[in-house]
Structure 1
Amino acid sequence: MKEKSITFWELVLMNVSALYGIRWIAKSTSDSFGLGLGAIPMWIIFMLIFFVPQALMCAELATAYPTDGGLNDWVKIAFGTKYGFLVSWMHWTALIFWYASFLTFFSINFTYMIGKPELADNKILVLIMSLVVFWALSFASMRGMKFGKYFTSVGALGSVVPTVCLIGMAILAVVVFKKAPSASEYTIATLTPKLNMNSLVAISGITFAYTGAEFTANFASEMKNPQKDYPRAIMIAAGTICVLYVIGSVCMTMLMPTSEIFAYTGTLDALVIACNLLEVPQFFVQIVAFGITLSIFGAVVLYIAQPTKMLFGYSEPGIFPEKITKKNEHDIPEKAILFQAILVSLLLAGVAVFPAVETIYNVLITMTALTSLFPYVLLFAAYIKIKRKKVDKPGLYQMTKNKKWGCFLGYMELVICVIAIVCSALPVMTTFKENVVYEVEMIGGGLLVIVSGLWLWKRSGLKNKTFEIE
C-alpha cells in the first residue's frame, strides 16, 4: 500500500508555491502590462468569481476521485480516454516552452542575490545557471513528492516572505515614518482598468494567474484524510494568495509609480527604494532575492513533475513507448523526465547560442500560449457533467449539494475561461501586418498542438473508452 506522505500544511504550502507568483505583482501593476492600479480590484474580483469556485471544484473532484491522474482522470471520467490524453498533451507541450520564462526570472533574481544584476544580460551565464537548475530539479522530481515537497514548502516561504517584507517595509516607509509620499493616488478613477485591447489581455492574464488548483489535486491520494483536509488546504491557500496579491500590489505602487514598474525586476526595484528610505543596507535585497529564487525552485519542481507524470505516467498504453512511460519506485516516469530535460536543454542552448533560434523560440511560445488555457475549458465541462450525473456519497466533500447550483457555477467558470481565451488572443501589435502574423501564430499554433495530439491518438489505434460516473 502506498505510504501517505503529504500532511495538511505541506499541501497548503504546495498550493501557495504552485499558485502564487510574486512576479505577478509587478507584472500586473506595470503600465506596460496594461492595468496599472486597475490590477488591484481585479485581483479581488477574479479571486471571488474564478479562483475560489475553481479550487472548490477541484477539491470536490479530487476527494471523490483521489487518483494521481488529477485533471487527466476527471476528463477521462467525463468524456473518455481520448480527451484525457489531449488535456495532458496540451498541458505538457505548453510548459515545454514556458520553462524559459521561469528560468529567466530565476537568473535575474540570482544576479540580484549575489549583488551583480548586470550579469543578467550575459546569455551564456544565464544558460549555464538555467541548465544546472533545471537538471537538478528534474532529478529531484524523480524522487516523487515525498522528496519534492521540501522544495515546494521552502519555495512557498521563499515567495511569501519577500512579499511580506515588501508590504512591511512599504507601510513603514510611506505610512508610519512618512519618509516619502505615496507614488500613487488611489481613487475610483485610478483603480478602474482602462477598457482597451491591452487591458483586456492583461485581465485575461490575471485570470490565468489564478489557474492551477488542479496541479496539486493529484496528490490528494497521498494524504491521510483527503476528504476533510484537501478542501481546507485549498481554501487557506486561496485566502493567503489573494491577500498577498492585493496588499502586495498596493504596497508596490506606494513605492513606485506604475510607469516605472518592470515585470521581472519590479519587486526588487521596489525593495531597493524601501531600503533607501528606511536606511536599510542593500544586502537585505540580496537576502530577499535569495528567497524569491527558492520560490522558483518550488514552482518548477511541481511544473516538472505533475504535467509529465500526467502525460506519460497515465496515458493509455500504446501512445508512447513503454520504456518512456515506465514508472520508478516513486511512481514517477523518470525516463520521460529525462527526455523533457534534454528537450528543454536543447531549446535553451539554441536560444543562447544562435540569434535566429531566439526568434523561432519566441514564435513557439506564442504558438503554444492558447493551448495552456484550453485544458480549463475541459476541466469545467467535466465538472458540470460529473456533477450532473454523480451519485453523492456520505462523507465526501462537495462544493455544494445542490446540483443545479453546482452546474451553474461550472457554467460561470466555463464562460469566464472562454472569454479569457478570446481576450488573450486579441490583436495588441502596433501595425496591421504584425497583428496578422501574431494572430496566425496564436491561433495556428493552438490548432497545431491540438491536431498533433489527436494525430498521436489516432496513430495509436486506441478507441475512446468511457467510464461510469459513480
Structure 2
Amino acid sequence: MTQHRIRNKNLGLAELIAIALGGMVGGGIFTILGISVSMIGSLTPIAIVIGGLIAALAAYSYVKLGLYYRDEGATYSFFKKIYPNSHFSASAIGWFIIFGYISTLALYAYTFSSYAISSTDFANNIWIRKGIAIAVIGVFTLINIWSVNGMGKIEDLMVYTKLVVLTIISVVLMQHGTSSFGTFIDNMALDAEKSNIFSVLIVASLTFVAYEGFQLIINAVNEMTNPEKNIPRAIYSAISLAILIYVVISLGALFAIPTEEIIKNKEYALASGAGNVLGKLGTNLVILGAILATSSAISGTIFGASRQMSVIASDGYFPHWLAIRKNNSPQNAIVGMAVMASVLILIGGLELILEFGSITFLLVSLLMAVANFKIRDKTASSTFLTALSIVCLGIGAILILYYEFTTKWEQMMAIIILYLILAVGAWVYSKKNEMKGKSS
C-alpha cells in the first residue's frame, strides 16, 4: 500500500489549489450575496473579507494538524488521535463532517442544473432539474474513479477558467455599471450609518460557508508531492484567491445591479446584471462561470470527502464496504457519497440541508482549533494564533446560531432533529466498535 501511494503522488501545488478553490467557489457566494446585501448593503465586501480572515484563522489549525499527522482522514482522524478514548465523539465528528459534505455536494449539483437549463424551456421543470443534477454527480463520480491525475487536470481547467470568466464579468460590470466609485463610497457611508458592527459580523459568519473547501487539500495528502511545503501554500493561496474573487464579484454586482434586484434574484442577480450591461452574451458568460464553479465544486468535494469517508469506515464508524479500495482509490466511498447526495436531491429541501452544512463546518472548525490548542506544543503552533482562532470561531458560531434562531427558527429545529438522527447513527457504530474492541 505504502509503495503504491509513493508511486502515485500526482498532485502538485496547482492541482491542490484547484481542489480547494473547486470546493470553495461553488454556488455559495451567489446565494450569500443576496442575503448579505439585504442585511448590510454596500458593506458586503467588508464582511466578505472578515469572513475570509476567519477562514484563514480556522485554516491555521488545519495546516498545523495536517503537517503533524499526515493523515487523509483529516478532521476526523485529527480528532480521533487527540481524543483516543472517546469512541462516540470520533464517530459523531465523522458522521457530521461527511453528511455536511454530502449536503453541499447535493446543493452544488442542484445549482449546476439550475444554471444549465436557466435559458431553456425546461427552466421551471423541477424533475428535469433534479435529473440533470443527479447526472452531473454521476459524471464526476466516474471521473474521480477513472484517475486521480485526470481528475486533477480537469479540476485545474475548470477552476482557473471559472476564475477568469467571473473576474472579467465583474470588472466589466464595475466599469459599465450605473454606480460610479464615488457613488459607491457614498452608499457605503449611508449603509454604515444604518447598519451596526453586529450586523456586519453576522454576515461575516454566514460568509464562512463560502470558504469551506480548503480542508479538502489535506484529504489528498497521500497523492500530493512535497506535503510540507504544499499543504500550507495551497490552503493559504486558495483562501486568498477566494477572498479576491468574492470581493470582485460583490463589487461587480453592487456597481451594476440595483440593490432590490440583488436581494430578489439572489444567485441569479449576477446573470441578470450582466444581461442588462452586455446583453445575452453577458448572461451566457455568467451561466458558464456558474456551471464551471459548481462543476469544480462537485469534483473537489467528491475527491476529498470520499477519502475521509473511507478512513472513517475502515475504523468501523461507517459500514465496512465503504472502506474497500481499488488501486488506492476509495471507489466505494465515492459511489456511496454520490448515491446519498442523489437521494437528497430527490427528497428536496436543499436550503435546509445547506444551512445544516454551514453550521456543521463552522462548529467543526471550532472543535479543530480547540483540539490543536490542546497539542499546540507538538504541532509547533502559536498559542496566540490558536487562541485567537478559537475566540473568532466561537463568536462566529454564536452569531450564526443567533441568526438562524431569530430568522428561521422552524428550519433550525429541523436541523437539530437532523443532528439527533446522525448522533444516533454515530452512537450505534461507536458501540459496535467498543464491543469489537472488547471481544478482540
Relative to the length of structure 2, the TM-score reads 0.85
Q: Could you tell me how far 1:235 is from its partner in structure 2?
A: 2.8
User: For residues 21-420 of structure 1, what are the structure 2 equivalents within 5 Å?
Assistant: 21=26, 23-25=28-30, 27-30=32-35, 34-48=39-53, 50-80=54-84, 82=87, 83-112=89-118, 115-116=119-120, 119-143=122-146, 145-174=148-177, 185-191=186-192, 194-195=195-196, 201-261=202-262, 262-276=265-279, 282-329=280-327, 331-351=328-348, 370-390=359-379, 403=381, 406-420=382-396
> Deviation per CA, 1:308-332, whole angstroms, max 9, x where unpaired?
3212334454434433321111x23
Query: For 1:428 and 1:239, how far apart are their aligned partners in 2?
Result: 28
Q: Could you tell me how far 1:430 is from its partner in structure 2?
A: 8.5
Q: Could you tell me how far 1:86 is from its partner in structure 2?
A: 2.7
Amino acid at match of 1:228: K
> Deviation per CA, 1:167-219, whole angstroms, max 9, x where unpaired?
221233149xx999968844333257834997665332112323332211222
Query: For 2:40 and 2:55, how far apart are their aligned partners in 1?
Result: 19
Q: Cα distance 1:16–1:345, how it changes in 2: closer, same or farther (>3 A)?
A: closer
- Higher mean alpha-carbon deviation, 419-428 vs 191-200, is at 191-200
Q: 3-state SS of the aligned residue for 1:426?
A: helix
Query: Which residue in 2 is equivalent to 1:396?
Result: none
- Higher mean alpha-carbon deviation, 193-202 vs 223-232, is at 193-202
Contact 1:72–1:88, Cα closer than 8 Å, also in 2: yes
Amino acid at match of 2:95: W
Query: For 2:383 and 2:187, how far apart are their aligned partners in 1?
Result: 38
Q: Cα distance 1:452–1:377, how it changes in 2: closer, same or farther (>3 A)?
A: farther
Contact 1:66–1:220, Cα closer than 8 Å, also in 2: yes
Q: 3-state SS of the aligned residue for 2:399?
A: helix
Query: For 2:161 and 2:358, how far apart are their aligned partners in 1?
Result: 27
User: For residues 422-461 of structure 1, what are the structure 2 equivalents within 5 Å?
Assistant: 422-426=398-402, 435=409, 437-461=410-434
Contact 2:372–2:386, Cα closer than 8 Å, also in 1: yes
- Higher mean alpha-carbon deviation, 286-295 vs 239-248, is at 286-295
* Structure that is richer in helix per residue: 2
Query: Which residue in 2 is equivalent to 1:354?
Result: none
Q: Could you tell me how far 1:340 is from its partner in structure 2?
A: 3.1
Report how many residues are paired.
Answer: 429
Q: Could you tell me how far 1:293 is from its partner in structure 2?
A: 0.9
Contact 1:29–1:253, Cα closer than 8 Å, also in 2: no
Q: 3-state SS of the aligned residue for 2:266?
A: coil
Contact 2:36–2:44, Cα closer than 8 Å, also in 1: no
Q: 3-state SS of the aligned residue for 1:264?
A: helix
Q: Could you tell me how far 1:84 is from its partner in structure 2?
A: 3.9
Q: Which runs of 5+ in 1 are unaligned?
A: 277-281, 352-357, 393-402, 466-470
Q: Cα distance 1:464–1:184, how it changes in 2: closer, same or farther (>3 A)?
A: farther
Q: Cα distance 1:427–1:297, how it changes in 2: closer, same or farther (>3 A)?
A: closer
- Higher mean alpha-carbon deviation, 52-61 vs 298-307, is at 52-61
Q: Cα distance 1:11–1:317, how it changes in 2: closer, same or farther (>3 A)?
A: closer
Does the alignment pair 1:5 with 2:2?
no
Q: 3-state SS of the aligned residue for 1:388?
A: coil
> Deviation per CA, 1:139-177, whole angstroms, max 9, x where unpaired?
2222453232133212312431222122221233149xx
Contact 1:62–1:218, Cα closer than 8 Å, also in 2: no
Contact 2:158–2:295, Cα closer than 8 Å, also in 1: yes
Query: Which residue, out of 24, 27, 36, partners 1:19?
Result: 24
- Higher mean alpha-carbon deviation, 337-346 vs 372-381, is at 337-346
Query: For 2:196 and 2:432, how far apart are their aligned partners in 1?
Result: 46
Contact 2:169–2:285, Cα closer than 8 Å, also in 1: no
- Higher mean alpha-carbon deviation, 119-128 vs 284-293, is at 284-293
Q: RMSD across aligned C-alpha pairs, in angstroms?
A: 3.3
Q: 3-state SS of the aligned residue for 1:68?
A: coil
Query: For 2:385 and 2:193, how far apart are their aligned partners in 1?
Result: 26
Query: For 2:193 and 2:218, how far apart are their aligned partners in 1?
Result: 35
Amino acid at match of 2:103: F
| Superposition misfits of 4+ residues, deviation over 4 angstroms | 29-33, 178-185, 195-201, 361-369, 427-431, 462-465
Amino acid at match of 2:375: I
Query: For 1:202 and 1:304, how far apart are their aligned partners in 2?
Result: 28
